[in-house]
Amino acid sequence: MSVRRLDINQPDEFSFSKENERWAADQLKKYPKDKQASAVIPLLWRAQEQADGWLPEPAIRYVADLLAMPQIRVLEIATFYTMFNLSPVGRHFVQLCGTTPCWLRGAEDLKEVCRRVIGEPGQVREDGQFSWIEVECLGACVNAPMVQINADYYEDLTPESLEALLEDLAEGREVATGPQVERTNACPMGGPTTLLNGGAQRQTRSTPTRAPAKAKIKTLRKARKGGPDRLIEISGIGPKIENQLYELGIFHFDQVAAWTKADVAWINEQLRFKGRIEREGWIAQAKVLAKNAGGAS
Ligand code: FES
């Protein structure tokens, strides 16, 4: 880990704004009286936000005093965690991921853009608009390469799109966060590539398997005439769970609608999730759906 030092230029003092004072007092109530030091990270974070994105040394002392902690301990925390900036940052603070997936997908080229447009890492551009640093994985590898700017992620970047993004931010233009290409969140580029026609689902429906021998619940060996109901119409049931229910011998809304407490417990056990059936109101939903379908409820 690199050496992290306090900036040589420091303000004379720091104290929380009235609003942050009230916020800090509320935070402290969350912890037992002799464990107030547990609030050190959120308080330092709030101090950093108040100080325009970096943590001045007086803020570190202020938080230490507020928590009755030795100042050296809070200094250790502030210098250990890279989420705390020890020097001023630009109005748009760019954290560029340089870890392997992003590196393989072109992070080095993005660094060149940052160097050219902003300057050397850790330096604030002359107009105060930008600064940048390289960081480790930010957890968006599937959309690599990416950067975080202040609180937002910008993904699937190219040198061109990053440069355009920086220019838009500098000009105060509205920008789109997330992927900078035609894709939704982390979906495959160009749209879904699997489960396109529900083939596997249909196959399962037409060849239902036997319910486990120990089932206490009323199950069927196969769907009634007309085929199984679309259990995915019950909010909370997706294609995977629907198939699992078919495998267990549950094909119809009226079967779900008739579940007893013991049945619910058994299904919970089979599907390995607890409390979800009750939480999502499967039975009530199934009653309505069974009624609409003209089945028994
Ligand atoms: S490697 Fe860049 S976000 Fe994970």
Nearest atom (ligand 1) to Cα of 140: 3
Angle at 106 between CA 132 and CA 119, to 5 degrees: 25
**pLDDT at res. 118:** 98
pLDDT attached to residue 216? 67
Secondary structure class of 97 (helix, strand, coil): strand
Coil vs helix vs strand at 153: strand
To test the ligand 1 pocket, which listed residue (94, 96, 99) has its Cβ within 8 A of the most ligand atoms? 99
Q: Is the dihedral of CA 114, 116, 120, 126 positive or negative?
A: negative
| Ligand 1 center–CA 130 separation, angstroms | 21
Contacts of 257 (CB under 8 A, 6+ apart): 283, 286, 287, 289, 290, 296, 297
Give helix 40-50 / helix 57-66 axis angle, nearest 10°.
140
Report the alpha-carbon distance of residue 172 to residue 257 in Å, rounded: 55
Q: What is the pLDDT of residue 67?
A: 97
Residue 120 CA, ligand 1 centroid: distance in Å: 21
Alpha carbon of 143 to ligand 1 centroid (Å):
8
Q: Enumerate the domain spans of the chain.
A: 18-80, 92-179, 199-292
Counting ligand 1 atoms within 8 A of each CB, the residue from 146, 149, 155 with the most, and so the one to mutate, is 146
Centroid of ligand 1 to alpha carbon of 107 (angstroms): 10
Q: Which residues line ligand 1 (CB under 6 A)?
A: 97, 99, 101-102, 137-141, 144, 146
* Separation CA 160–CA 151 (nearest Å): 22
pLDDT at 19: 97
CATH code for the structural domain at 18-80: 1.10.10.1590
Q: How far is the CA of 264 from the centre of ligand 1 (A)?
A: 41
Q: Check residue 198 and give its pLDDT.
A: 56
Apex 99 CA angle, 94 and 103, nearest 5 = 90
Rounded to the nearest whole angstrom, what is the distance from the C-alpha of residue 179 to the centroid of ligand 1? 13
- Beta carbons within 8 Å of 192's beta carbon, 6+ residues apart: none
Q: How buried is residue 6: exposed, middle or buried, by Cβ count under 10 Å (0-12/13-18/19+)?
A: middle
Report the C-alpha dihedral over residues 132, 135, 140, 146, rounded to 10 degrees. Answer: 30
Contacts 24+ apart (CB under 8 A), 181-187: 181/156, 183/143, 183/156, 186/142, 186/143
Mutate to test the pocket of ligand 1, among 97, 108, 147, 154 (most ligand atoms within 8 A of CB): 97
- Write down how long the chain is: 297
Res 238: pLDDT: 79
Half-sphere exposure of 54 (CA within 13 A, CB side): 22
Task: Report which ligand 1 atom has the smallest distance to the Cα of 107.
Answer: 2
Q: How far apart are the CA of 135 and the centre of ligand 1, in A?
A: 9
Q: Which atom of ligand 1 is nearest to the CA of 102?
A: 2
Task: Choose which residue among 137, 143, 152, 157 to substitute to test ligand 1 binding: the one with the highest number of ligand atoms within 8 A of its C-beta.
Answer: 137
Kindly give the distance from the C-alpha atom of residue 114 to the centroid of ligand 1, in angstroms, as a whole number: 17
Can you give the pTM of this predicted structure?
0.64
**CATH value of 92-179 in 3.40.50.720, 3.40.30.10, 3.40.50.300, 3.30.720.120:** 3.40.30.10
- CA atoms lying within 13 Å on the CB side of residue 240: 3
| CA 96 / ligand 1 centre spacing (Å) | 9
pLDDT score for 273? 67
| pLDDT tens, per residue, the chain with 297 residues | 578 899 999 999 999 999 999 999 999 999 998 999 999 999 999 999 999 999 999 999 999 999 999 999 999 999 999 999 999 999 999 999 999 999 999 999 999 999 999 999 999 999 999 999 999 999 999 999 999 999 999 999 999 999 999 999 999 998 989 999 878 788 887 777 777 765 444 444 444 444 444 456 788 888 888 889 999 888 878 777 888 898 888 999 999 999 988 888 888 877 776 677 887 789 999 999 998 887 443
Q: For ligand 1, what atom is nearest to the CA of residue 97?
A: 2
